[in-house]
Amino acid sequence: MHISEGVVSGPVMMAGAALAFAGTAVGLKKIDYERMVHVAILSSAFFVASLIHVNLGPSSVHLILNGIVGLLLGWAAFPAILTALLLQAILFQYGGITALGVNTVIMALPAVICYYLVGPLPGRGPRYTFVAAFLAGAGSVGLAALGLGSALYFTEKNFLEVSMLVMTANLPVMIIEGIVTGFCVTFLLKVYPEIFPRRGPEK
Amino acid sequence: MRKYLMTQKKGQKKDLLPGGTLLALILILLGSSPAWAHKVYVFAWVEKGTVYTESSFGDQPVHGGAIEVVDRDNQVVLQGKTDDRGKFNFPVPVAVNSDLLIKLDATMGHQARWTVTLSELMAEGDEARQQLDEAMTKKETLEAKPSMAAVATGIAVIFLICGLASLIHKKRKKHNG
């Protein structure tokens, strides 16, 4: 899912960096500093998730875990994912420093969208929890694939083809991520419910 | 949700490690991981008048990746596709007079490049052998898998950043009363 160095055009790179900066700024403002350990745990989980990969066709896909990061962190997913991606680029040479902004938006924006769409559902009962977490896991990968297609469109100009390819390649990952997120969230709600964001009036 | 969480909290031990469950999950996933991969690279070397290229996602070959070879003036010298083992070979072009840039497009934003220098293309005898040895050393570096040390460093850095952010926030809060 990581866009490599030098793939996207200059304007897309700049737009990605600007959006990532804005998202990170909002995230830092909304972060609950009393619960920084949760941000660290989820950022670490995201950091190592991409090491688990599935080889498909000419390309390679891997676990992303942006759904669970979004569900549990909300806007704080932006700084958490940005940090993890930066370290992946430096330590594993995944993606690239110049594509960092675009990659952050591709993975963090779906996480925030899922937080708003299905975030309130976990906790309303076991069935709701699993379905909501599955949707967050699968949906955030689907949206990330769509974002990747859009970013590549401005470079390759064949949006439908690229998007279809990305979506098809990531379909198994969507299902796997949905199931992994479903089980993780259900389990976490039982053993460590404090990790869920405190919903209520915005600070 | 609050209500549900409250009922969940009752009857459970409070001293559960916060990160324990996720850490366990990470370790399980890492343990079952079939491979360490996701960087994309193309590597090329010259041997007996042939340029050999190898494209990989770490330790998984790039199947059917598009290869484009261009010269110094960005003129396309030749194009091709990698085979099932991520390989694509071609004879050293007769009229070559510059370095050759080998571009790999493994689809979905995965791209990589490698430059074969003119001296590599033209080398003969002992010099060619030496160039080949150097190329193989570079190949080993490229193929190196992310070490556990790199993973541990990354996690440590994340926790350090979060710890510092938390500390700064606390100091600010104290300062502001």
Name which residue leads in pLDDT, B10 or A16.
A16
pLDDT in tens, B79-103: 999 988 889 999 888 887 888 889 8
Residue A203 lies in a domain: no
The order of strands in the sheet holding B66-70 is B76-81, B66-70, B100-105, B111-116
Closest listed residue to residue A41, CA positions, set B34, B109, B38, B21 = B21
As for the ipTM of the complex, it is 0.80
- Once rounded to an integer, what is the mean pLDDT over residues B111-137? 80
Exposed, middle or buried, A127 (CB in 10 Å: 0-12/13-18/19+)? exposed
Q: Please tell me which of the candidates A48, A120, A184 has its beta carbon nearest to residue B151.
A: A48
Cα–Cα nearest to B4, from A193, A115, A199: A193
Domains in chain B: boundaries:
41-143, 147-177
A16-66: per-residue pLDDT in tens? Answer: 899 999 999 999 988 888 888 889 999 999 988 877 766 655 555 678 888
Decide if A168 touches B, using CB distance below 8 A: no
Cβ-Cβ contacts under 8 Å, B5 against chain A? 123, 189, 193, 196
CATH number, domain at A25? 1.10.1760.20
Q: Choose among A33, A58, A94: nearest Cβ to B165.
A: A33
Asked whether residue A65 is assigned to any structural domain, the reply reads: yes
**In-domain check, residue A1:** no
What is the number of domains present in chain A? Answer: 1
Residue A200 inside a domain? The answer is no
Given a cut of 60, is residue B3 above it in pLDDT? no
Grade residue B63 by pLDDT with cuts at 50, 70 and 90: confident
| pLDDT tens, position by position, B12-39 | 444 444 455 555 555 544 443 333 335 6
What is the average pLDDT score of chain B? 75
Of A76-80, B140-144, B149-153, where does mean pLDDT reach its minimum?
Answer: B140-144
CATH code assigned to B41-143: 2.60.40.10
Closest residue in chain B to residue A35, using alpha carbons only: B166
3-state secondary structure A117-176: HHCCCCCCCHHHHHHHHHHHHHHHHHHHHHHHHHHHHHHHCCHHHHHHHHHHHHHHHHHH
CA atoms within 13 A on the CB side of A151: 34
> pLDDT tens, position by position, for chain A (203 residues)?
677 666 777 888 888 899 999 999 999 988 888 888 889 999 999 988 877 766 655 555 678 888 999 989 999 999 999 999 999 888 887 777 888 899 999 999 999 999 999 888 777 777 788 888 999 999 998 898 888 888 877 766 666 777 777 777 778 788 888 988 998 888 888 888 878 876 544 43
Residue with tokens 């669970």: A68
Q: C-alpha distances in angstroms, A91 versus A85, A186, B32, B55, B137?
A: 10, 32, 21, 20, 20
pLDDT of residue A6: 67
Binary contact (B110, A53; C-beta < 8 A): no
Q: Are strands B87-91 and B111-116 parallel, antiparallel or unpaired?
A: unpaired
In a domain, A41, yes or no: yes
- Which of A60-64, A83-87, B7-11, B48-52 bottoms out in mean pLDDT, i.e. has the lowest? B7-11
Look at B19 and A193 and tell me if their CB atoms are within 8 Å: no
**Axis crossing angle, helix B2-9 with helix A159-191, rounded to the nearest 10:** 50
Q: Is A106 on the interface with B (CB under 8 A)?
A: no
Give the per-residue pLDDT at A158: 64
Inter-residue contact B9 to A132 (CB < 8 Å):
no
Q: Give the distance from residue A121's alpha carbon to the nearest chain B alpha carbon, in angstroms.
A: 8
Which residue from B142, B139, B140, B27 is spatially nearest to A51, judged by alpha carbons?
A: B27
Q: Which residue of A has its CA nearest to B36?
A: A51
Question: B33 near A28, Cβ under 8 Å?
Answer: no
Mutate to test the interface with B, among A31, A55, A60 (most CBs of B within 10 A): A60
* Candidates A31, A41, A163, A196, partner chain B, best to mutate (most B CBs within 10 A): A41
Which residues are paired to B44 by β-bridges?
A: B53
**Which amino acid is present at A117?**
L
Place of tokens 């599955």: A134
B23 has a chain A CB within 8 A of its CB: yes
B163 interfacial to chain A (CB closer than 8 Å)? yes
Residues of A in contact with B35 (CB under 8 A): 53, 55
* The predicted structure's pLDDT at residue B30: 45
Q: Write out chain B in H/E/C secondary structure.
A: CHHHHHHHHCCCCCCCCCCHHHHHHHHHHHHHCCCECCCCEEEEEEECCEEEEEEECCCCECCCCEEEEECCCCCEEEEEECCCCCEEEEECCCCCCCCEEEEEECCCCCEEEEEECHHHHHCCHHHHHHHHHHHHHHHHHHHCCCCHHHHHHHHHHHHHHHHHHHHHHHHHHHHCC
* Interface contact B91, partner A, CB < 8 A: no
Structure tokens at A38: 């949760």
Of B108, B162, B169, nearest to A59 by CB-CB distance is B108
Domain that holds residue A35: 10-195
Mean pLDDT of B41-54: 87
Give a yes or no: residue A4 inside a domain.
Answer: no
Q: Determine the pLDDT at residue A82.
A: 94
Q: Which residues of B touch A31 (CB under 8 A)?
A: 165
